[in-house]
Amino acid sequence: MKIFVKFVFFWALLTVCTVNSQSDLFSKTRILVQNSQWEDVIKALDKEPTKNAQDKELYMFQKAYSFFELNNYDSARALFTDLQKNKNVFDDYSLYF
């Protein structure tokens, strides 16, 4: 019985970890943003593979904002310009942040 309980607990823990992989990145970058560690935010976003277009757009916006905070306006402008091609998405992220 102990083995069965341990197996169920391990399975539940594994399921939660795999389902919440995107939220893990969000929590990591949220802490970095709160501490104004913009270089580390960019590094974390560069390492993360994008699984769909929405993730890519969110990462691009967060990366562009990080470049803006680092006073690297040319890189920020380039990323914001790419995002502005889809005007509705850009407006949504602008209102969110």
Q: What is the pLDDT of residue 92?
A: 64
Q: How many CA atoms within 13 Å lie on the side-chain side of 38?
A: 12
The pLDDT tens digits along the chain (97 residues) read 555 444 444 444 444 444 444 556 677 777 887 788 888 888 888 887 777 777 777 788 888 888 888 988 888 888 877 776 666 665 665 665 5
Q: Where are the domains of the chain?
A: 21-96
State in words which class domain 21-96 has.
mainly alpha
